[in-house]
Structure 1
Amino acid sequence: MSIAVLGPTFDNLAANVRKNVSDIYFIFVGRSLGYLGGSVLGGVLFDCMNAHLLIALSMFGTTAGLYAIPWCKEALLLTALMSVIGAAMGVLDTGGNVLVLNTWGAEAGPHMQALHFSFAAGAFVAPLLAKMALGGSNSQGPPVTEQTNHSLLRSVPTAPAATVVPALQHHLSADFLWSYVVIGTYLLVVSVFFFILYSKANSAQEKSQASVQKNMYARYHYALLGLLFLFFFCYVGAEVTYGSYIFTYAKVFAEMKDSEAAALNSVFWGAFAACRAMAIFCAACLYPGTMIVLSLMGSAVSSFCLAFFASRSASLWLGTAVYGASMATVFPSGISWVEQYTVVQGKAASLCVVGAALGEMCIPGVVGYLQGRFHHVPVVMYTALGTSAMTVLLFPLMYKLANCPRKSDCKQVNEGEVCKALLSTSSSPNEDEEDEEDVAEWNEADFEVIEMNNTLRNSVVEISQKRPGDSPAEVSLQSPLDNVLHDPPAVADGSPGTQEEDADQEKHD
């Protein structure tokens, strides 16, 4: 909602800072740079701070920025506020993925799909809120700007422009103020719930979980994350590019009317949102890798049809719907998939989000430049085909790296063989079969107990072999330890009968 509300209220923001729409394009650049910075900063902070607290602070920062935007009268200050909101949303985007993985672990698939479906739901709701806020005064008579301007000119015919503009800005602020206030208040309420979760968080549990995760890194952890960075760069760039330029393509190359081109654009985003909603339930019965393979197959086939058969109307409509549906589940499924093979903490999630953000910034810009140079070439469709081919090639390579055995796995195998050998040497021939069945049930804790018992036994033997001149305090230690080990007191002269009993007891232990 915070991202999508800017579009419907862009004209009002320009009038509020006394600029034309074309003169404040840099606020998008400021927000994008803030988003990248927030994604990187969030990846670092989530590894050393509580996730609930950091998400609550980021949402609180977004709330403050949304409350301040309608009252901002300077373009430079508006850009700074947009950068702050972008940074807070970058932290929130990175932290949301990390928190879902840390909370549900191996069962995070449906929850990750639901998280990313909420993005589409918020983008759908925000324009409706803006339309309701702006439509109340526009429902009767002329638009607000014209009505206000005429009333002011009628009441004060000789009023200078300096007195008209502030009044006009006041009416504009009153119109689109409520959409920002509603969204900001909603975020404020949710941030309060995250503060409550932070107050009830168990830091000891988080530390133990972090210590367990240290031994779960993939063998080629950084290479896998680098390929995933390129994978999301191509995927998100292709998604945003197609959704941004399909309207223009439909009018120029398919010679559609404005209403038909808008309907084609709606088909793409509608299929995208619907498939993300369905993926919440599909993720409960399908592995993330299976969903990625199905999505890549659908995007490859549909982009091929769009690149070479888009001149046919049926192929264009069907290919657009399939392409939108195929692109819907790739990002959340990719996060869930890589978490099965390596640890996805703050820095890893930040790398994925930054790759997606760079693809969203770079690929649409390059396509726009090339489309302006080559007017008769459908650059959008060829870009969709090229990025689909890249993702199809990258995923098998990532799968190969992810399935390489970890070094910790090899170490565990060697330790298991040593433990089995110790058990086999300490048992009698008649007990070999039983010991082999019990080897699988033994772990490191069992052998630590054996070592502790041996240590206690050695201390008992040392105490029992002390000379009569030893102090009463040293001799008094013998009886409690004997009671613990259930052994009779050892004889100082080391008779054969006592040694045989000690050997039998050691074998039993």
Structure 2
Amino acid sequence: MFVDERIVTLFKRNAHHTLTYWSLFFSFGLSIAFLGPTIKDLQCQTKSTLSQITWVFFSQQFCLLIGSSVGGIFKRTLFSALSALLVSTLLISVIFAVIPWCTQVLTLAVAMAVSGLAMGVIDTIANIQLVSIYQKDSAVFLQALHFFIGFGALVSPLIADPFLSEHCGNSAGNSAGNSTGNSTGNSTGNVTELTHHFRNTLINSPVAEHNGGEAAAAAAAAGSGVHYAFWIMALINLPVPLAVLFLMYRERLIPCCPGAAPHLLDKDELAMENRQGARAAEPPAPQAGGHGNIFSCCQNDNLRGLPLSFFMIHILGGMVLFMSDGIVGAYAGFVFTYATKPPIGLVPKAAGYLPSIFWAAITAGRLLSIPLSYRFPVVRLLIFNLAGTIVTVLLLLILPNSRAMLYVGTCLCGLFLSSIFPCMLAYTEDILDYQGCATSVLVTSAGMGEMVMTVLVGSIIETNGSYSFLLCGVIIASLGLLIFLALLFFHRLHRNYLTGTTRKSAMVEEETPGASGSPAAEPNEEAQKS
């Protein structure tokens, strides 16, 4: 078998928990992708300009960062973790259901902020829980976990597409362009154009021309059927909180249920406790205060006596994901704009396929990485993926006129970038003995990179032209590889520090019985002389 029986046994032993966390990330993918194809209809629904609707994206991403940062607070007990996941998934379903009634940008931004908080909590807790369950075998299951994000991100536009209006968005787009002018950021306009053409390509219809007529305005005012799409997504997401609730029931964590008692350790948990007790008998490694959020990890009491390598592993690991997820956000946001401008000059209908190819490649890459994570060390996978990203973007930069290379390169970029996050998470937690703080740091850094790099690359494209899009990609990917090589150096230093600590502890243990036995040996020697 490609995956041995031990991995299969581990999965069967924790199948209920694992499948529940995977379904949570499917809900995450639904939430993160629906704004793209529906942004035109939401703009008509709120009667807002392009610059105003931009705050909806910002509010969701910003609160996602906050949720990722504080999500580790709920990791301290299984009850608090599952309770937070239950509330978060219920909030996502509620937000889907109430979006059709958000007729102002402010209310829509508040709704998206709440969904962003819920998504951030899900992101951190699900990753921490899987790492805690599988530990050194977590890479395989993390790859599957992040596959479901891509799967949900692919399903969400397909659900929304039949209910989108072709008329809604034309008049709003014209009014937004007239009101904002050149002051509107190019990145926002690119995202709007991207989602509009991507929607058109899904249904194989020509790109709607701007007519600005009264008929389009009337159709926009009448609204589209997009509210049905949101209600369908709310219903599709509803089984996810039910799955979390059922898991809580199985774990006897619902106080109101009859016969619910404190959960006793079963055989598997008892075996896990025994393994943890055996590890506790080994020489202690530097601890960071246990599982928690970023702020609890940075408390002074937790940082005393820790080597520099401990901090650098957190910082450099976060920077690698800051760069790699930054490329994901920038490439998905601006590949359409790059393709429609010289020297490529694709028609919008053809260029609209590029974002879907990119996300499909990410989804396929995460599925392919599941067996690869078992067969190959995560360090090799990370180096291969980072180097492959650099080579791919560099080839696109060298061959700027090749349309075929753009499609192939987009697919390869998605494949190489797909498994960097789960591999990096498993590798860093393995170095730091699965204490949980690294997960909070990495998840937050990845989300921050996706938000910051998208804005940064968009501003550079606006001032220097579309050709700078690929140049930024090469620079960011190269920095990511260099930072990862620095992380390998500090990993070696940290390993040497742990080895030295172990030797000192062993020497102390050897000296203690010798010191206590030496005085007792002297009377024996005197007795022999007498």
* TM norm structure 1: 0.70
2:448 — aligned with what? 358
Cα separation, partners in 2 of 1:242 and 1:406, compared to 1, 3 Å = same
**Root mean square deviation of aligned Cα:** 3.7
Q: In structure 1, what residue type is equivalent to 2:471?
A: Y
Q: Are 1:215 and 2:285 matched, yes or no? A: yes
C-alpha separation in 2, matches of 1:379 and 1:167: 39
1:26 — aligned with what? 55
1:295 — aligned with what? 385
In the TM superposition, residue 329 of structure 1 has moved relative to its aligned partner by 0.9
Q: Are 1:336 and 2:336 matched, yes or no? A: no
The Cα offsets for residues 444-493 of structure 1, whole Å up to 9 and x where unpaired, read as xxxxxxxxxx9xxxxxxxxxxxxxxxxxxxxxxxxxxxxxxxxxxxxxxx
Q: Are 1:178 and 2:231 matched, yes or no? A: yes
In the TM superposition, residue 87 of structure 1 has moved relative to its aligned partner by 0.4
Q: Are 1:97 and 2:150 matched, yes or no? A: no
1:76 — aligned with what? 106
Q: In structure 2, what residue type is equivalent to 1:374?
A: N
Cα separation, partners in 2 of 1:99 and 1:256, compared to 1, 3 Å = same
Cα separation, partners in 2 of 1:293 and 1:65, compared to 1, 3 Å = same
Which ranges of structure 1 fall in alignment gaps of 5 or more residues? Answer: 147-163, 428-453, 455-498, 504-509
> Is residue 385–residue 417 contact of structure 2 (8 Å, CA) maintained in 1?
yes
Cα separation, partners in 2 of 1:319 and 1:17, compared to 1, 3 Å = closer
1:369-384 matches, within 5 Å, as: 369-375=459-465, 378-384=467-473
1:145-294 matches, within 5 Å, as: 168=222, 172=225, 175-196=228-249, 199=252, 212=280, 215=285, 217=287, 219=307, 220-253=309-342, 254-294=344-384
1:54 — aligned with what? 84
Cα separation, partners in 2 of 1:179 and 1:393, compared to 1, 3 Å = same
> Is residue 292–residue 334 contact of structure 1 (8 Å, CA) maintained in 2?
yes
The Cα offsets for residues 245-268 of structure 1, whole Å up to 9 and x where unpaired, read as 111111113112223322344333
Q: In structure 2, what residue type is equivalent to 1:3?
A: I
The Cα offsets for residues 103-147 of structure 1, whole Å up to 9 and x where unpaired, read as 111111110000111000000111122235x27xx8xxx97999x
1:425-444 matches, within 5 Å, as: none
C-alpha separation in 2, matches of 1:126 and 1:64: 16
2:156 — aligned with what? 126
Q: Select the residue among 111, 119, 127 that pairs with 2:141.
A: 111
> Is residue 43–residue 169 contact of structure 2 (8 Å, CA) maintained in 1?
no
C-alpha separation in 2, matches of 1:174 and 1:356: 31
Once the two structures are aligned, what percentage of the paired residues are identical? 23
In the TM superposition, residue 423 of structure 1 has moved relative to its aligned partner by 8.1
C-alpha separation in 1, matches of 2:438 and 2:127: 10
C-alpha separation in 2, matches of 1:167 and 1:245: 30
1:6 — aligned with what? 35
The Cα offsets for residues 222-264 of structure 1, whole Å up to 9 and x where unpaired, read as 2111111211111111111112211111111311222332234
Q: In structure 1, what residue type is equivalent to 2:228?
A: D
Q: In structure 1, what residue type is equivalent to 2:410?
A: T
C-alpha separation in 2, matches of 1:266 and 1:6: 15
In the TM superposition, residue 424 of structure 1 has moved relative to its aligned partner by 9.0
Secondary structure of 2:375's match? coil
C-alpha separation in 1, matches of 2:219 and 2:401: 50
1:463 — aligned with what? none
Secondary structure of 1:215's match? coil
In the TM superposition, residue 15 of structure 1 has moved relative to its aligned partner by 3.8
In the TM superposition, residue 90 of structure 1 has moved relative to its aligned partner by 0.5
C-alpha separation in 2, matches of 1:350 and 1:371: 32
Secondary structure of 1:199's match? coil
C-alpha separation in 2, matches of 1:99 and 1:362: 28
> Is residue 31–residue 82 contact of structure 1 (8 Å, CA) maintained in 2?
yes
C-alpha separation in 1, matches of 2:389 and 2:480: 10
The Cα offsets for residues 173-218 of structure 1, whole Å up to 9 and x where unpaired, read as 7533432432342333233234335535669979995995973658
Cα separation, partners in 2 of 1:187 and 1:314, compared to 1, 3 Å = same
C-alpha separation in 2, matches of 1:313 and 1:25: 31
Q: In structure 2, what residue type is equivalent to 1:67?
A: A
C-alpha separation in 2, matches of 1:34 and 1:186: 24
C-alpha separation in 2, matches of 1:392 and 1:198: 43
> Is residue 330–residue 454 contact of structure 2 (8 Å, CA) maintained in 1?
yes
C-alpha separation in 1, matches of 2:161 and 2:402: 36
Pick which of 297-306 and 173-182 moved more: 173-182
Q: Select the residue among 455, 468, 478 that pairs with 1:389.
A: 478
Secondary structure of 2:383's match? helix
Q: Which has the higher contact order (CA 8 A, sep 6+)?
A: 2
Q: In structure 1, what residue type is equivalent to 2:81?
A: A
Q: In structure 2, what residue type is equivalent to 1:215?
A: A
How many residue pairs match? The answer is 406
> Is residue 46–residue 54 contact of structure 1 (8 Å, CA) maintained in 2?
no
Cα separation, partners in 2 of 1:165 and 1:277, compared to 1, 3 Å = closer
> Is residue 43–residue 53 contact of structure 2 (8 Å, CA) maintained in 1?
yes
> Is residue 120–residue 273 contact of structure 1 (8 Å, CA) maintained in 2?
yes
C-alpha separation in 2, matches of 1:144 and 1:247: 21
> Is residue 235–residue 388 contact of structure 1 (8 Å, CA) maintained in 2?
yes
C-alpha separation in 1, matches of 2:383 and 2:161: 39
Q: Are 1:43 and 2:43 matched, yes or no? A: no
Q: In structure 2, what residue type is equivalent to 1:294?
A: F
Cα separation, partners in 2 of 1:10 and 1:104, compared to 1, 3 Å = same
* TM norm structure 2: 0.68
Q: In structure 2, what residue type is equivalent to 1:247?
A: F
Pick which of 206-215 and 105-114 moved more: 206-215
Secondary structure of 1:35's match? helix
